[in-house]
Amino acid sequence: MEYNTLEKARKYEKENGSKIPASDRPAFHLTPYVGWTNDPNGFSYFGGKYHLFYQYNPYDTRWDSMHWGHAVSSDMVKWEHLPAALAPENEYDSFGCFSGSALETEDGKHYIIYTGVRKADDGKEYQTQCVAVGDGKDYRKYENNPVLTSRDLPGGLSPYDFRDPKVFRDEEGKYLCVVGGKNEKGLGEILLFASDDGFNWHFRSVLATNDGEYGCMWECPDFFMLGEDAVLITSPQDMAAKGLDYHSGNGTLCQIGTYDRAAGVFKRCSAQTIDHGIDFYAPQTMQAPDGRRIMIAWMQNWDTCNTSGYRNLPWFGQMTIARELSLRDGKLYQMPVSELDKYRKDKIEYKEVKVNGELSLKGVEGRCLDMTLKIRPADSRNLFKRFTMFFAKDGSHSSRINFFPGDNVFETDRRLSGSRRANIHQRSCNVRDLGGEIVLRIIMDRFSIEVFINGGEQVMSTTILTDPAAGEIYFECDGEAIIDVIKYTLDMEE
């Protein structure tokens, strides 16, 4: 069998990546060097820079032959592509170098642990955990890979669904990692493994088990403390919708609870969806040097990959903006990292503007922007029925966000974004009852909108492929609302 080597990938991306004009990509959301990306991998701080790797097929805009692409940034906003880091060129990972994570070792090396997948003669895909170590650019796979195989699994767990190691270190410097597994009932189990050196690993405990309430297999686990609370993030496959939550098919779940260190067991106190938009999967976090817990996810839904039906871009898949996480009253909050602020230009501000019917505001337009929009009723005893912001609009296209204060529901709607497919184009979520008030922080890039609602209590991330020239914005209110607007253009030139 001929493998797709790293050398071949690096040559290919050098020749083809530069052919993609910057204007055909998002301005500040990471896209693959060339070809396809899905999950963010190995999000870490090493050698004075943030590193983000990603599931990557350089050769096509479809999922295949998983490599690890690689990008670095000094601020998590402006990313620079580096040459691919891993290729599926060994027997144990010949079907793909699947998702994993990274950290800086005490002796200053960049340590990667990932899932190596091999297709056996029986046609089945065997998943094992493998290690590579590097200098921030070039990585060498460990000669005794794989470091964890199905032999290390407790009884009853599947050798075909054992993936996505997330590594971290405990207070004593011991290596720990959580890995997704699947039991005989077809449900996810999050397994905890331990190691003194990152190379010799052993099974420690089942950290958490899916009782069937949240999807089936749990992919891409992440586990960390946020203050006193333990947080377990997973991406469950085949989720059933509950009310307005969990409509993404393969969705995301944040469980908040307690961690019994001695037993290696997590106990859930509450659960919530992470992002209520259409496009969000496989989030991964890292701890920045200043202690902040930062998360980036794949801004895409598996069920709508390559199905827009009208745009044929030379890349597919993009990451969300980096988000700082916090907990308030037992709930996960997210806000864009403050590093984004330095790219804000051309401030435009409007205060106390009455909206009844349609309204556009001079200077409030464009596709790369950071806008804070406060909406409140003109008369709190007489709530407006609906407030809408139309964006990415031209003569025949528009997308919108809607707020229905009577129901405390917020909605994204991209039905008129230009799609030619019967995909999902609307998504709603419940928001806090603030008597008809809502505060939105809206981050828009050429091919997406991320809305942080009420200080990040809910977030809605949605891709749109509307021609970036469609840049009109206007507001519409069914009833009477008062708005405050602060709008900046996001400009990546420093």
CB nearer ligand FRU, residue 192 or residue 453:
192
Q: Which residue is associated with the tokens 């507001």?
A: 475
Taking alpha carbons only, the member of 244, 131, 289, 250 closest to residue 195 is 131
Joined tokens for residue 201: 């690993």
Nearest to 145 by CA among 206, 210, 100: 100
Q: According to the binding rule CB under 6 A, does residue 163 interact with ligand FRU?
A: yes
Residue placing its CB nearer to ligand FRU in the complex, 282 or 401: 282
Under the binding rule (CB under 6 A), the answer on residue 55 touching ligand FRU is yes
* # residues near ligand FRU by CB under 6 A: 13
Does position 44 interact with ligand FRU (CB under 6 A)? The reply is no
Regarding 157 and contact with ligand FRU (CB under 6 A), the answer is no
Q: In this structure, how many other beta carbons lie within 10 angstroms of the beta carbon of residue 360?
A: 14
Catalytic, 39? Answer yes
User: In this chain, which of 13, 39, 445, 457 binds ligand FRU, going by CB under 6 A?
Assistant: 39
In the complex, the smallest distance separating the C-beta of residue 299 from ligand FRU, rounded to whole angstroms, is: 13
Which C-beta is closer to ligand FRU: that of 99 or that of 334? Answer: 99
- 66 near ligand FRU (CB under 6 A): yes
Distance CA 226, CA 154 (A): 29
Q: Which of 164/445 has CB closer to ligand FRU? A: 164
Residue 411 touches ligand FRU, criterion: CB under 6 A: no
Q: How far is CA 224 from CA 110, 171, 177, in A?
A: 20, 12, 11
Choose among 95, 89, 176, 94: nearest CA to 139: 89
Q: Please state, in angstroms and rounded to a whole number, the distance separating the CA atoms of residues 17 and 191.
A: 38
Q: Which of 98, 224, 387, 403 binds ligand FRU (CB under 6 A)?
A: 98
Instruction: Establish if 355 lies at the interface with ligand FRU (CB under 6 A).
Output: no
Least spacing, CB of residue 220 vs ligand FRU, in Å: 6
Where is 126: in which H helix or E strand?
A: strand 125-134
Integer Cα distance of 473 and 460 in angstroms: 18
Residue 319 interacting with ligand FRU (CB under 6 A): no
360 Cβ contact partners less than 8 Å away, ≥ 6 residues apart: 472, 473, 474, 475
CA distances from 382 to 229, 250, 406, 435, 479 (A): 41, 40, 10, 10, 8
Q: Which of the residues 39, 161, 370, 445 is marked catalytic?
A: 39
Nearer to ligand FRU, 220 or 483 (CB): 220
The answer to whether residue 222 forms part of the interface with ligand FRU (CB under 6 A) is no
- CB of 129: closest distance to ligand FRU in angstroms? 11
265 touches 240 (CB < 8 A): no
- Among residues 57 and 308, whose Cβ is nearest to ligand FRU? 57
Residue with Cβ nearer ligand FRU (38 or 399): 38
As a whole number of Å, the end-to-end CA separation of the chain is 48
What is the spatial distance between Cα 30 and Cα 40, in angstroms, rounded to a whole number? Answer: 10
Site for ligand FRU, residues 201 to 220, rule: CB under 6 A: 219-220
164: contact with ligand FRU by CB under 6 A: yes
Least distance to ligand FRU from the beta carbon of 234, Å?
10
Q: Does 38 bind ligand FRU (CB under 6 A)?
A: yes
Catalytic amino acids? 39
Interface residues toward ligand FRU, by CB under 6 A:
38-39, 55, 66, 98-99, 115, 163-164, 219-220, 281-282
